[in-house]
Structure 1
Amino acid sequence: MVPSGQLSPATRPDLPRPEIDVLELGDLVPGTGVPRPVLLDHDLLVLVTGGHGLVELDFRALPCRPGTLLRAAPGQVLRCSARLDAVALRWHADALRGLDVDPDAVPQHHQLTGPDEDAVINEVSQLVVDHRRHRADPAAHVLLRHQLAVLLIRLALLPGVRNSGGTPDDTDPQRTEKATFRRFCREVEAGYPYTRRVEDYAARLGCSVRTLTRACLAVTGRSAKQVVDERVALQARRLLAATDEPVARIGRQLGFPEPTNFGRFFTREVGVSPGAFRAARDRPPSRIVRPRRPADPADPDGRA
């Protein structure tokens, strides 16, 4: 069994804040009543140990039961819709610096079973014990870093996980399109607050708009413009749900100087106005609005 109890060093002000924290799921979603979405600022790995229910990650409802694994990244929005027992590993990116491990290779949602579940529980349990016992000792940080790295590598090698996330092998006939799509997504992640023009991303990647659109259609079934707009809409939903920033300010952060243009864009992408979407955060999680695929890829509110 994974040890439980108050595990966070936040209750011990005499201790330095480590690169790796061990928490309970409730520590991440404090408060009573209907839980609001929480905007994450660290990498997170959650192992459910008891209870049944849903956890929403970036507005996607994920069923959870003992043995469920959840992986979340900084910037994502987390919301618990049921009382679950879980241990959460939270770490800063520096915790894995210099180690050959890719946290993004870990599945976002996976149900552990059989020997894999036993192995993961054992490794998490040992990390929890060592964190509790040695977190005051800077010399033990090396131990915790390597334990976390081994755990993440093991999870990335789970059956059905490897290559399922998008790293194409040499036999994949769509490997060129997938490689182009991955490069495009990296550029969009860095540039979406500044531009939604596909032409700008094509110029950065040294290819044509047609090449980007062909790659996006092959991998996702959506155009390059839709991929960009969906990323902007996702960030808008995150900020509306998990912060109290004024709607107009959120729009400006995402490149919409005029609130009316932001409102039209958001309503087109999500199906409701920004105000209505924000109001839904105080309702039960089932009432959170799911995004819809834009019916018209044209962009009347695009910037010059």
Structure 2
Amino acid sequence: MVPSGHLAAALPDAAAGSVEIDTITLCDLAPDPGWRRPVLLDRELIMLATGGHGFAEVDFRALPCRPGTLLRVRPGQVLRCAPPQLDATVIRWHPEALHGLDVDAEEAPTWVQLAGEDEDAIINEVSQLTVDSRRHRDVPAARSLLRHQLTVLLLRLSMLRSDARRAAGPEEDTFRRLCREVELDYQRTRRVEDYADRLGCSVRTLTRACLAVTGRSAKQVVDERVALQASRLLAATDQPIARIGWQLGFSEPTNFGRFFAREVGVSPGAFRAAREQPATPPVVRPRTPADPAPQVRRA
């Protein structure tokens, strides 16, 4: 697991933790105005593009953005944008901000281009939350107001993908269950057998589900999640490469180096050396409304 100190360093005021929900601009989000390196996020985040055209790079995938584009970025992911070409309102919050409220933040789509009535409703929610967070920051009742406004916003976003969720078959459900388990334990084990035992199914069932949803085997899905975390830490932190490998379950730096080179196509050192070079867009076209597990961009 990434030490909290490194996460706090990723955002200038993350350590303060005094504001549960706040709104900022893209320029406020990164310590470097040029975004030469990705930012490793430690909070939940929604970004609504309000002007310009450009790309937001989330976990090394360049996603097209224009007015009305909404991104949902989660803690632990890396983000890089190009503020000169893109303006956006950013809402961020600590996970405990929604404690006790009937909303599942995970249901919000990763990328959506808003249109029609959905666009009007969601832009209104974002605008009102932005105004209230700035005008009433020191008012005792503001905390409850902002929590409920954010809940309404997330519920509206979750409805955008409800039809796809209802249409999902058993293989999609199995794949999602596997992803949740991998997220909890990828630093300890990369064995598909361990996840199959935990989910009460066979390796064949997991592989069939992964192939149906992503075109990749269950083993590839697990390994790609480990490689993604390694890529995040290499790009957004200055932790020693050997330490990153150790955090991800590799007792020997050489084993980590071979694994990373196999998955990503370059050595950890080469990947880190190139981290200040942004992706050449477009790297990927978003799949909506059901979002697959993010993939590491091959060099």
TM-score bin, normalised by smaller chain:
0.7 to 0.9
| RMSD over equivalenced CA pairs, Å | 2.1
Alignment of 1:120-269 (within 5 A): 120-158=122-160, 161-164=161-164, 167-169=165-167, 175-269=169-263
2:92 alignment partner AA: R
**Structure 1 residues 187 and 67, CA, compared in 2 at 3 Å: closer, same or farther?**
same
**Structure 1 residues 147 and 34, CA, compared in 2 at 3 Å: closer, same or farther?**
closer
**Structure 1 stretch displaced more, 191-200 or 94-103:** 94-103
Query: What's the secondary structure of 1:55's corresponding residue?
Result: strand
Asked if 2 retains the 8 angstrom alpha-carbon contact of 1:67 and 1:113, the reply is yes
Query: Aligned partners of 1:214 and 1:85: how far apart in 2?
Result: 42
TM-score normalised by structure 1 residue count? 0.84
Which one of 267, 271, 276 corresponds to residue 277 of structure 1? Answer: 271
Q: Structure 1: which 5+ residue stretches go unaligned?
A: 1-9, 294-304
Partner of 1:45 in structure 2? 46
Count of aligned pairs between the two proteins? 272
1:215-260 CA-partner distances (Å, limit 9, x unpaired): 2122222111111000000000100011000111100111111111
Structure possessing the higher relative contact order (Cα contacts under 8 Å, 6 or more residues apart): 2
1:59-86 CA-partner distances (Å, limit 9, x unpaired): 1101111111111011110001352211
- The structure having more radius of gyration, on CA atoms, is 1
2:103 alignment partner AA: V
* Identity of matched residues, %: 68
Asked if 2 retains the 8 angstrom alpha-carbon contact of 1:52 and 1:82, the reply is no
Partner of 1:59 in structure 2? 60
Query: What's the secondary structure of 1:89's corresponding residue?
Result: strand
Query: What's the secondary structure of 1:148's corresponding residue?
Result: helix
**Structure 1 residues 33 and 133, CA, compared in 2 at 3 Å: closer, same or farther?**
closer
Q: Structure 2: which 5+ residue stretches go unaligned?
A: 1-12, 284-294
Asked if 2 retains the 8 angstrom alpha-carbon contact of 1:35 and 1:80, the reply is no
Asked if 1 retains the 8 angstrom alpha-carbon contact of 2:224 and 2:296, the reply is no
Shift of 1:31: 1.7
1:162 alignment partner AA: S
**Structure 1 stretch displaced more, 55-64 or 197-206:** 197-206
Query: Aligned partners of 2:35 and 2:137: how far apart in 1?
Result: 33
Partner of 1:5 in structure 2? none
Partner of 1:302 in structure 2? none
**Structure 1 stretch displaced more, 58-67 or 130-139:** 130-139
1:133-182 CA-partner distances (Å, limit 9, x unpaired): 11112322111100111111112223xx3243xx344xx5xx22222222
Asked if 2 retains the 8 angstrom alpha-carbon contact of 1:178 and 1:219, the reply is yes
Query: What's the secondary structure of 1:281's corresponding residue?
Result: coil
Query: Aligned partners of 1:213 and 1:118: how far apart in 2?
Result: 41
